[in-house]
Chains A and B, each alone.
Chain A
Amino acid sequence: MTTGCILQIALLLCFSITALSRSFNLLQFQQRSTNLECQRLMMKLSGTPESCLNNRTNFEVPKEIEQPRQFQKEDAVLVIHDMLLQIFEIFGKNLSHTGWNETIIENLRSELSDQIDRLKAILDENTEEENPTWENSTTMLWHLRNYYTRIVQYLNAKSYSSCAWTVVWTEIYRNFSFISTLTDYLQN
């Protein structure tokens, strides 16, 4: 009887670990697909950065995002989720001066929203577990929020002009490159 229970518990643990690892692998695959699709959509938005050199500014990307070092996959999920959420909100701002195709913008936001939901589901599963690097993640998220706040403030300061959006567009495009790097940490 005891042996049977131990065997069942072992099988349950094995299946749970396998399912969890499979969920992260699937999430990584989905995140890569989202990155490529978002970059593809952004390339359809016309922009001439070389004509807006005077509008350039330094948004000061957090160093831990620009040059990530040894991320835990749970932290990577948290950071990617927050970055996608901020990008989603930025592209919901005033785009009237850009002349960009609204359909492309909607598709971009839809793609972002779907992946945000997937990441949120993984975050909810891991909420109950204690994360030893949670304090570092909180600091990182604070830096990240400030970074995106600066972008929004820049747009406000430039009255959502076309060149301001072009500068932000190049910055957001960089963000997807950072997210691609962070996606590598989702692997088990």
Chain B
Amino acid sequence: MKMVLSQNASAIRPLNLYPWVYISLVFGASLALPDKACTFKVALQNFQTIFSWELKNHSIVPTHYTLWYTIMSKYEDMKIVEDCTNITRLFCDLTGLWDNMPETYIPRVVGFKGNTVLVSCIDSVFLPMNMTLEPPDFEIVGSADHINVIVKFPSRAPKTIDVERLQHHFYLIIEQRSEEMVKKHKPRINGNITGDFIYVMDKLIPNTNYCVSIYFEPKNLGTITKSPLKCALLPGQEPESSESAKIGGIITAFLIATVFISSVVTLKRTGYLCLRLDLPSALNFSNRPTRIFLELPPLEAVDTVEVIYVSRKKKVWDYNYDESDSEEEATPTTSAGGYTRHGLILQPLTQASTSSPDSEESQFTDPDVDEPDLPEDEAEPLLVPGPRAEQSEPASGPCERRASPLQDPFSKKDSSATEGSEDRIIFNVNLNSVFVQALDDDGDVSPMLPEETVDLEDPSEMESSFLIAREDGMPPPFPSPSEECLGSEDASSEESDTSESDADIRDGYIMR
């Protein structure tokens, strides 16, 4: 604020004082004004416009003051405030006089000591900017989940307060603080108020401390003066309220579920969401037990049989048709270019002998001991140990075992048998690696083709093996275990195709 000090006070008789002050006020504005000696303040206290002043020069102590004022929006003479004439206090209630907020007021304060004018100050006050909006008095009453804020208006207001008009220029703010959270309430006051104004802050959390502050927030330039905080600890929640909260929660959950389902249905009907209920048969697991996935694949069935070795040997295939059968029988070894067939009689073992789960080998027994008189057809050998036929299992264990027991039975014929007499030898053989002809009553022969594997990684070796077999007329020697173990399933299939060209199938046998 800008103040004007007019220290032209002099000893003037009281009767001539007021006309002189009036003239001074009217024409003083156009005169050269001395330094400002007063500080003007205007505040809105409890919706009352309080104008106050203070002298900067404390050496000047007037005994009483008189307030004059005018406005800038139109040409008006200085008006004296009747309630603020010859007052000893340093403030004046201008409620009802300075109620036009957008107005620029020009107050003038004249200080007297007796009848002498000691000081005269004039300044301009623009209410929207210069008025300090002091917070009103208030009280708070806390309940379970709400707080009643009672804003106290002046009980004996000289004039009704046009709060609605004042609200065009500032907001009444009720600030709610809870820990770090701050929430502002802007209650709207309608009409004129002469009593208390009660505002309810609801939906509060029980057993929580809330602090409340009230202030006016100007819409134009101005300062904010907040009231001291008043706090209230809300009482704890009663059990009934917890039950109601549960019910409310259930209802809320039901409503959320309803909205969600209806949204899905709506989206599905409108085509924004496609849900298929008829799943393809491949994805239908309803009729399949889940344990099917836990079952291990079935192991290869291995039957334990007893093979009886027949001493009579028969040349199965030979290019020399002049030789007699007796010579063949006399010579157990086959001639070149042919395979020798061993007559074996299969006899199931006892239950005790077959109980071993790890038994993948069969026992070969000399057929002369048990059935020496078998006919030739019936005593047809059931086993022709293939030279490379024992490679059905790629594991190293079986490969190592095959190295020693699966020797050519002829080599064991003259030697002492591992078990039994000379005409009877018992050995183990993997049925997967031999050709087995079952002896039926009808005399039909049903060959069983074993899996054959060969090391295709070394085609030259494979080819040389076949060449040796052709020259000697004997099955080629067993490859070394290490070579056998290099075989693969793909290789075995290819070798099977290859061996078919070299093999001669006769009477259900495959000759290699």
* A residues neighboring B (CB under 8 Å): 3-4, 7, 32, 35-36, 39-40, 43, 48-54, 56-59, 61, 66, 167, 170-171, 173-174, 176-178, 180-181, 183-184
Contact = CB atoms under 8 A, between A and B. Distances in A.
B74 A58 contact: yes
B220 A39 contact: yes
Contacts of B33: 51
B74 A56 contact: yes
9 contacts: A3-B270, A7-B270, A35-B219, A39-B129, A51-B33, A56-B73, A56-B76, A170-B104, A173-B104
Nearest to B128: A177
Nearest to B76: A56
Given A3-B270, A36-B220, A50-B2, 12 more contacts: A7-B266, A39-B220, A40-B221, A43-B129, A49-B104, A49-B106, A50-B4, A50-B106, A61-B73, A171-B72, A174-B104, A178-B102
Given A49-B106, A58-B73, A177-B101, A32 B271 contact: no
B220 A176 contact: yes
B123 A50 contact: yes
Contacts of A51: 29-30, 33
Interface residues of B, number: 33
Interface in B68-122: 70, 72-76, 101-104, 106, 122
A174 B220 contact: no
B146 interface: no
Nearest to B122: A50
B453 interface: no
Given A36-B221, A48-B124, A50-B4, A180 B169 contact: yes
A5 to B, nearest CB: 9
B199 interface: no
A56 B129 CA distance: 21
B475 to A, nearest CB: 79
Given A51-B29, A177-B102, A58 B221 contact: no
Given A39-B129, A50-B4, A174 B103 contact: yes
Contact of B169 (A43, A59, A61, A181): A181
Given A48-B2, A50-B2, A177-B102, A57 B74 contact: yes
A52 B123 CA distance: 11
Nearest to A36: B221
Given A4-B271, A177-B101, A53 B221 contact: no
Interface of B: 2, 4, 26, 29-30, 33, 70, 72-76, 101-104, 106, 122-124, 126, 128-129, 168-169, 219-221, 266, 269-272
Contacts of A49: 72, 104, 106, 124
Nearest to A59: B73
B220 A177 contact: yes
Contacts of B266: 7
B168 A58 contact: no
A174 B122 contact: no
Contacts of B128: 177, 180
Most chain B beta carbons < 10 A, residue from A53, A171, A174, A181: A53
Nearest to A54: B30
Contact of B29 (A7, A36, A54): A54
Contacts of B271: 4
B30 A56 contact: no
A183 B168 CA distance: 10
A144 to B, nearest CB: 16
A154 to B, nearest CB: 12
A177 B169 contact: yes
Contacts of A170: 72-73, 104, 124, 126
A51 B168 CA distance: 30
Given A173-B126, A184-B168, A43 B72 contact: no
Nearest to B100: A66
Contacts of B106: 49-50, 53
B75 A57 contact: yes
Nearest to A174: B102
Nearest to B33: A51
Contacts of B26: 53
Contacts of A50: 2, 4, 29, 106, 122-124
Contacts of B269: 3
A180 B129 CA distance: 13
Contacts of A7: 266, 270
Given A40-B221, A173-B104, A181 B72 contact: no
A171 B129 contact: no
Contacts of A178: 102
